[in-house]
Structure 1
Amino acid sequence: MRAYLFLFLLLAGCANTHPKPGGSYLGLLAMTGITYHLFLDNQGPAPVLYGVTFKADPLPLDTIYFKGDSLHFRMKEYYSEYKGRFDAGANRIEGIWIGEDSLAHPLVFQAVMPDTVSGLHPRSSPGYTYQKPALMGDGIKTDTREAQKLSPAVMDSVIKHLVNGKYKDVHSLLVARNNELVVEEYFYRFNRDKVYNIQSATKNVVSALTGIALEKKELKSTQQTLCTSLPGYEKWACDEKHKNITLHQLLTMSTGIAWDEQTYDYGDERNTLVKAASDSDQFVHLFLLPREIKATPVFAYNSLNHILMNAVLRHATHMENKDELTTRLLQPLGIEKCYIDEPTPMGAIGDIGLRPRDMLKFGLLYANQGQWNGQQVVPAHWVAESIRPKIQPRPGLGYGYFWWTKDFEFKGKTVSSFFAWGYGGQYIFVVPALQLVVVMSGSHWGTDPVDQGIPIMEEILKAVEE
């Protein structure tokens, strides 16, 4: 009997020498240019790993398991593997991630409460209490919803819809009326200091810079051609097929070049932009595609167009894009925290990143005909011209010079709006007749964000009182 008892205690002791972690853990994986946030949920029957850098997405692992006190997982698609060991005393998992770059990256998972993890849940509590936005000394004035005639009950309903999942992956919502910020809400544990890649809303910034360059006579007009505006590419831009492509066509997505980046998602190799990205010189790739000119211009959304326009501006202004952007827009608007893409191999920059309040500044700039704090930053006539619809991409939507336009129903009448739209749910809506500016940021990848942004705007408009 004593022998059996001794054996039982020995086996129990051996089992306890390799305790397995329970609960939730957050790991920060520092790679080149970005830190990935990984959330390990080990509360269920099997561990699950999520990427929560922007929102919670289960990672496509081929395998994940604990063996004793060791954690193993692997992603064949990205040639990546992790091996870590659980430290029971510190309640953390320490290990090494071997990435597709074949380099060893330290990755430590620390114990966390799930409700403290950015990107995992919209809010830790479904309840909502309104607070007037804070004055931050950034040039943005604030007020209450009631003072600016925005229905508290309707706006509370909008916030609840962002929290309960009716609208997915919205990280921030800012609403200004009569130049006063009255709603400033953040979700998924993000805050006002988060800098977002505004994706294709960058095009609207490039549109503003184009108007400034025209005012300074650095560009002649929107009718000048790429042939005369793109040094180094004359072989392609000035051939018979492309010699009459104008800046107007570039700004309105109507060059006639065969391009389709809206039928397929950006992870699909059939997407034209994905194909172009594999070439070292995407401009040459673009010029080698077929081109067809029709009597009525055809809209074909092309994410290379604003990079082409940046290349034109770089030549016309004799400034690097970063310097031009900083001196002509960021500094006048008092925008100090942002990021700017490194120049592409073609010399021009791609996207930029802004905080939501700085996105709001850009919207207020256009709501006030290009003025900010009494300074005319963007020419008023260019603001008016760039937001005037010139082509119809789809029923119910217009397009100006890199600006989308839409008419909304409002209390039995129609009000016009224009908006910047970036992939994933980055928006700047302006409704001039109502002195309304709305900003959203998010991570609504893989779907058409217009389908979500417009219904949110329709709900917000119901809150506006005349």
Structure 2
Amino acid sequence: MKVKLFVTLLAFAWSAPSLALEKSLINQAISDVSSGLYTGIDSILIYENSKLVSEYYFNNFDKEQLHQTRSTFKSIFGLLAAIAIDKKILSPDEHIQPLISRYLITDNTDFRKTQIRVKDLLNMTSGLDCSEMPGTGPYHDEVVDNGPEPLKYSLSIAMATEPGKEWKYCNANSFLLGVTISAALNRAQQPNIKDFTRTNLFNPLGISEYRIYRSPDGFLYAQGNARFKPRDLAKFGLLVLNRGQWQGKQIISNQHIDFILDGVVETHWSWTDLINKHSASKAKYAYQWHQTIFELGKMSVPVSHTWGNGGQFIFVVPSLDIVIVFTGSNYGNIDKQKQAFEIMHKYLLPAASAFNK
């Protein structure tokens, strides 16, 4: 496999005794990807102490190419939702129906649907009869992602439970979150959502090259389908790692970062079930971010992360002061996507300087 390598070694971020161990583990990980032991991985970027220390590209990708993010954009949009809440554009406890009615009025025969709040969309607890993690169901993502009227369709999905009771991963939740924030911006006479996103999130982080898309009925695809450079994906992780601060400026308040790092709702999903000699720990979820516990010997390492189909991950590890980005092309193959978790567990987390102190 052809591999492109960009490595920056920062002397002040590495101690000489740990460097050999750290590099040997990282080199072994890259060797395993290059040899084909792990497949469909397009990039791995490693940041320690907020500095880029290693950067590897595979499969003819490079640092200048925009890569699909798929559902990792959900997590990016979760950060934007936090900004909108901080700016009092809307409240997490606010019901979404009055806002969405600015665009479409529906005849809700199920009272439970009128009780969906902003926080239910943020945490995937809307109660909609929709469950789109691999091997679950019912699925609605094909119509929400590709249909002509995703707003009308999303609002037509039946209810399965009361809002706030059960986690079910569903693209319609994220899409409706985007519509809700658009409506709240309209109510507040603020710029449209693309301008708001650029001004309040992308520009402060120095992100200028990206692609985000609208649905045929004119709404932002908040559930995914955006494209970013891997280094820019890392900036979102660094923003979380540094508790909402970027270059000394508070972009997102601490309360939202606490939710992202700690999780709000238990899920039925495990990201570690395919790791050899590792328990199938159940993930938590909040603000469109996943939270997973890695077991490293006697040490438990909490990690907040995104997930995008194909293997798009931003891993944030506060206890080890690292951010790691994966991009990949294993679309539709969840087992291959979980390779990133084995690589994290076997090589990259043990390679962190903080782990070896």
Q: TM-score category by the smaller chain?
A: 0.7 to 0.9
**TM-score scaled by structure 1?**
0.66
Kindly indicate whether the alpha-carbon contact (under 8 Å) linking 1:133 and 1:142 is maintained by their aligned counterparts in 2. no
Partner in structure 2 of residue 257 of structure 1: 128
* Greater share of residues in strand: 1
Report the alpha carbon displacement of residue 278 of structure 1 after superposing the two structures with TM: 5.8
Counterparts in 2 of 1:334-413, with a 5 A limit? Answer: 334-350=206-222, 351-393=225-267, 394-395=269-270, 396=281, 397-413=283-299
* Greater share of residues in helix: 2
Partner in structure 1 of residue 149 of structure 2: 281
Report the alpha carbon displacement of residue 277 of structure 1 after superposing the two structures with TM: 4.7
Partner in structure 2 of residue 462 of structure 1: 350
Partner in structure 2 of residue 81 of structure 1: none
Whole-Å Cα distance in 2 between the matches of residues 390 and 179 of structure 1? 26
- Secondary structure of 1:323's counterpart equals helix
Counterparts in 2 of 1:24-43, with a 5 A limit? Answer: none
Whole-Å Cα distance in 1 between the matches of residues 163 and 96 of structure 2? 20
Report the alpha carbon displacement of residue 385 of structure 1 after superposing the two structures with TM: 2.1
Superposed CA RMSD in Å reads 2.7
Does residue 326 (structure 1) correspond to residue 201 (structure 2)? The answer is no
Distance 1:359 1:425, change over 3 A: same
- Secondary structure of 2:98's counterpart equals coil
Partner in structure 2 of residue 429 of structure 1: 315
> Structure 1 stretches of 5 or more lacking a match?
1-120, 125-129, 135-140
Report the alpha carbon displacement of residue 334 of structure 1 after superposing the two structures with TM: 0.7
What is the one-letter code of the residue matched to 1:191?
D
Kindly indicate whether the alpha-carbon contact (under 8 Å) linking 2:79 and 2:287 is maintained by their aligned counterparts in 1. no
> Structure 2 stretches of 5 or more lacking a match?
271-280
Report the alpha carbon displacement of residue 384 of structure 1 after superposing the two structures with TM: 1.3
Counterparts in 2 of 1:20-59, with a 5 A limit? Answer: none
- Secondary structure of 2:319's counterpart equals helix
Report the alpha carbon displacement of residue 183 of structure 1 after superposing the two structures with TM: 0.7
Report the alpha carbon displacement of residue 391 of structure 1 after superposing the two structures with TM: 1.9
Kindly indicate whether the alpha-carbon contact (under 8 Å) linking 2:126 and 2:164 is maintained by their aligned counterparts in 1. no
Q: Deviations over 1:362-421 (max 9, x none)?
A: 111110001111111122221112332222222521111100001112342112110011
Partner in structure 1 of residue 274 of structure 2: none
Whole-Å Cα distance in 1 between the matches of residues 260 and 34 of structure 2? 35
Distance 1:143 1:163, change over 3 A: farther
Does residue 216 (structure 1) correspond to residue 216 (structure 2)? The answer is no
What is the one-letter code of the residue matched to 2:221?
I
Aligned residues: 331
- Secondary structure of 1:184's counterpart equals strand
Does residue 453 (structure 1) correspond to residue 329 (structure 2)? The answer is no
Kindly indicate whether the alpha-carbon contact (under 8 Å) linking 2:148 and 2:215 is maintained by their aligned counterparts in 1. no
- Higher relative CO (Cα under 8 Å, sequence separation at least 6) belongs to 2
Partner in structure 1 of residue 65 of structure 2: 194
Whole-Å Cα distance in 2 between the matches of residues 336 and 312 of structure 1? 25
Kindly indicate whether the alpha-carbon contact (under 8 Å) linking 1:254 and 1:300 is maintained by their aligned counterparts in 2. yes
Distance 1:385 1:364, change over 3 A: same
Partner in structure 2 of residue 183 of structure 1: 54
Partner in structure 2 of residue 306 of structure 1: 174
Partner in structure 2 of residue 291 of structure 1: 159
What is the one-letter code of the residue matched to 2:328?
G
